[in-house]
Chains A and B, each alone.
Chain A
């Protein structure tokens, strides 16, 4: 299978939109061919692709993640990102409310500050 030149970010940025879209299309076709080509090449001698992925992980010294642990990891990731999002929202909302309060009560606040300071 012919080689496909993967462009760097700088090379991509130098192209026009039309050239980038063509590149993306060709890259997708190449990736699909490589996937098929890879699967076809393996199927003659090796086990099915799923087993190949597991054996690659084993070869790299990494044990396959058990399904329960994987579920938990995903759950924790979702929970953490949701919590962060809610905190950010709370901050923004509070800031907005505070800003509105200050706008509506500026004179009162200024008078109070004068008295205090």
Chain B
């Protein structure tokens, strides 16, 4: 049975997709069977993966029941991908919360992977509800912007509501600070208080400890994305690549500490 992890924040541009991509690459390279699911209408994960898309075989077609998930899955060297679809921006009118909220969970339950990573869409939509219900764990990604906090309380309340209804057993695994500005190899003094404050606020909201690892800001991430490469593939010695390697281990250790499950 796969461990399903959603990488979430309702604000776009905080580092969700890059985090999802890196973790899929790292865990895949370590020999785990990883599936990444792109629920974002902007298809960031799809566009940054070394894949050739078939516009008829996307997550939307799977959710709408036109094709089996196996038909949509694209294999890359280290992970598999269910590609996103820009028409998912109409998901609130295309899907019904009462009938479709468990759709993603049903779809993923029939697949055989060790880890499933869901790149959540920014904003608030039924896709988020589908992701929460399908997940075992949720990782909140944030950067130093004030908007990074917006929506986290709503996210927490939604998950709690679905837990009480028995639709999910998802829990918040922790929060991750991304794009941490550095000065001479250390978090910049200008930002360190801000990062600590944000981490503390998020911890109070989601009731989960922030990860010790934080992802340092580097141009290598953007450049790697342009080449459709993971930053660990593009420049494995850069600070972000090293941080993501550390994060991948920390996440698995935390899952093991909570559930006793070895992935």
* Residues of A participating in the B interface, judged by any CB pair closer than 8 Å: 12, 15-24, 28
Q: With the chains together, A103 CA to B42 CA distance in Å?
A: 28
Contact (Cβ within 8 A) B100 A17 = yes
Contact (Cβ within 8 A) B65 A20 = yes
Q: With the chains together, A16 CA to B66 CA distance in Å?
A: 11
Known: A12-B66, A16-B99, A28-B68. A21 touches B94 (CB 8 A): no
Q: With the chains together, A17 CA to B100 CA distance in Å?
A: 8
* Residues of B participating in the A interface, judged by any CB pair closer than 8 Å: 63-68, 94-96, 99-100, 103, 106-107
CB neighbours of B100 from chain A (8 A)? 17-18
CB neighbours of A28 from chain B (8 A)? 68
Contact (Cβ within 8 A) A18 B68 = no
Q: With the chains together, A14 CA to B65 CA distance in Å?
A: 12
Q: With the chains together, A23 CA to B96 CA distance in Å?
A: 17
Contact (Cβ within 8 A) B63 A17 = yes
Contact (Cβ within 8 A) A17 B68 = no
Q: With the chains together, A15 CA to B96 CA distance in Å?
A: 13
CB distance from A108 to the nearest CB of B (A): 30
CB neighbours of B107 from chain A (8 A)? 21
Contact (Cβ within 8 A) A18 B99 = yes
CB neighbours of B67 from chain A (8 A)? 24
Other-chain contact of B94, A12, A17, A22 (Cβ < 8 Å): A17
Q: Which residue of B lies closest to A18 (CB)?
A: B99
Q: With the chains together, A34 CA to B239 CA distance in Å?
A: 55
A-B contacts, 21 of them at CB < 8 A, read A12-B66, A16-B96, A16-B99, A17-B63, A17-B65, A17-B94, A17-B95, A17-B99, A17-B100, A17-B103, A18-B96, A18-B99, A21-B63, A21-B64, A21-B65, A21-B103, A21-B106, A22-B65, A24-B66, A24-B67, A24-B68
CB distance from A85 to the nearest CB of B (A): 8
Q: With the chains together, A18 CA to B68 CA distance in Å?
A: 13
Q: Which residue of B lies closest to A24 (CB)?
A: B65
Contact (Cβ within 8 A) B68 A23 = no
Q: Which residue of A lies closest to B62 (CB)?
A: A21
